[in-house]
Amino acid sequence: MSNDIRVRYAPSPTGHLHIGNARTALFNYLFARNKGGKFIIRIEDTDQKRNIEGGEQSQLTYLKWLGIDWDESIDKDGGYGPYRQSERNDIYQKYYNQLLESGQAYKCYCTPEELEAEREAQIARKEMPRYSGKCRHLTAEEQQKLAEEGREPSIRFKVPSGREFAFNDMVKNKVSFDSDGIGDFVIVKKDGIPTYNFAVAVDDYLMEISHVLRGDDHISNTPKQLMVYDAFGWEPPVFGHMTLIVNESRRKLSKRDESIIQFIEQYADLGYIPEALFNFIALLGWSPEGEEEIFSKQELIDIFDANRLSKSPALFDKNKLAWTNNQYMKKQDLDRVVEFAMPHLKKAGLVPEQPTVEEEKWARSLIALYQEQMSYGAEIVEFSKQFFQDDIQFGDEEKAVLEEEQVQEVLQAFYHQVSELDPFEASEIKKAMKAVQKETGHKGKKLFMPIRVAVTGEMRGPELPNAIELLGKQKVKLRLERLIQG
């Protein structure tokens, strides 16, 4: 079955790579790679008014960033091109002319105003709006008269009456549509550009696409595409419609939902690890056997089974995303973690754009300090803020710690130990804490928590001696002095 499998991801360059589209691409990619087939990227750019500059390149750039490669596309001809719909008009013309000649399509001269009036009248009668077919039976003389009025025709597909169009969906099992509920639909617009449902059917057939894996929101397009296949006597591909992604309120993920980061470019800019995002997206609407949740790309390719695509909406769990990315962050070499985090320290003005050797060494140590806690690179700015502040603003929880009766004794003893330290290193700082314990008799939280809060301003954080070393002797002494002197 290997080389018979051909799947495609077909974005419109109307925006940047969205998490939902990335999932569609990723599932097609995993399916193709698992079966030893081909993964094709086709650009569906017929809606020129909605295309944005850089949209096409953004799609390809961030698919590559995620770790998705392809076998055929605009930059890799596999013999089925062109791979932009806007460059295939001559191909489409051959096929829609064939439908006109066979009487399976016809020219429609209705104006937008006439169509809108017809639609409003149907709604007023509580009917499902659909084209009435008024241009279906125009004579050649009537068509000529309308053309002489300056009307540009569109071309409509003649939907057969009384037919059931059914298919066995990879996710939903049997799905069927009654043709009588679908009006004659436009396959070529007045400007001569084919519409989506016609072009995509022709392209999928000519590119020998075997399986179409796409979002649930496309299912209403499927009967129209099946009608085009049927009209030409072509065998349709196998369809699979993946359930939608929903937010934590169980509502469809909307691009206007600002509670969730939705574009792959944003994740890259924030310093997410691409392999982690690949792993997370792969589990949005698909589940492997067993309880494991962390997989390499190759592992996901090896175990991907389309039969395990979920029939329920996929929940975008932000906490699971953070956890997944954190699992990856912990396992990275420090050099790679620095690649994700250092640009954010520079952007925030906390590290110079061209740091000295000493400044870079210090920043690397700072990033290493928080590697276990970070989910993505940009978090380093918030995590490490106490290293760049002169004054600490204590919260209620921290103030409560500093008001405990043993605090002054502990801080004074630690101040004297710190003042004597040379070199000012984590190993020596740890010894100083033990000396304070011995001197004061305080241990555990009674000892460490006042020191942590006094020096870092926070109740929780990385290994305390390491944090104190990075803060530096001068800053630590100053912070202790302010609290001791009140």
- Could you give the residue numbers annotated as active site? 255
User: What per-residue string of b and e applies to 235-262 under the rule 16 or more CB within 10 Å gives b?
Assistant: ebbbbbbbbebbbeeeeebeeeeeeebb
* H/E run at residue 213: strand 211-215
Structure tokens at 217: 């929101």
* 8 A C-beta contact, residue 436 and residue 429: no
- The total number of residues shown for the chain amounts to 486
Round to whole Å and give the CA distance between 266 and 248.
Answer: 20
Q: What are the backbone dihedrals phi and psi of residue 255, each rounded to the nearest 5 degrees, phi first?
A: -65, -15
CB of 384 within 8 A of CB of 471?
A: no
> Cα 452 vs. chain centroid, distance in angstroms?
38
- Give the helix, strand, coil percentages of the chain, each rounded to 5: 50, 10, 40
Region of 238 (left: φ > 0; alpha: ψ -120 to 50; beta: rest) is beta
Residue with tokens 């806007």: 86
Q: Please tell me the distance from the alpha carbon of residue 450 to that of residue 392, in angstroms, as a whole number.
A: 14
The answer to whether the CB of 105 falls within 8 A of the CB of 187 is yes
Kindly report the backbone phi and psi dihedral angles of residue 470, in degrees, each rounded to the nearest multiple of 5, phi listed first.
-70, -35
Alpha helices in 371-472 (DSSP H): 379-383, 396-402, 407-420, 426-440, 445-456, 464-471
Based on its alpha-carbon atoms, the radius of gyration of the chain, rounded to whole angstroms, reads 32
- Specify the pairing of strand 154-157 against strand 105-108: antiparallel
| Calpha distance 240→474 (Å, rounded) | 64
DSSP H helices, 41-107, are 55-66, 89-102
Residues forming a β-bridge with 214: 241
Do β-strands 105-108 and 173-178 pair in parallel, antiparallel, or remain unpaired?
unpaired
Residue with tokens 């997410």: 272
Of 38, 28, 33, which is closest to residue 3 (Cα–Cα)? 38
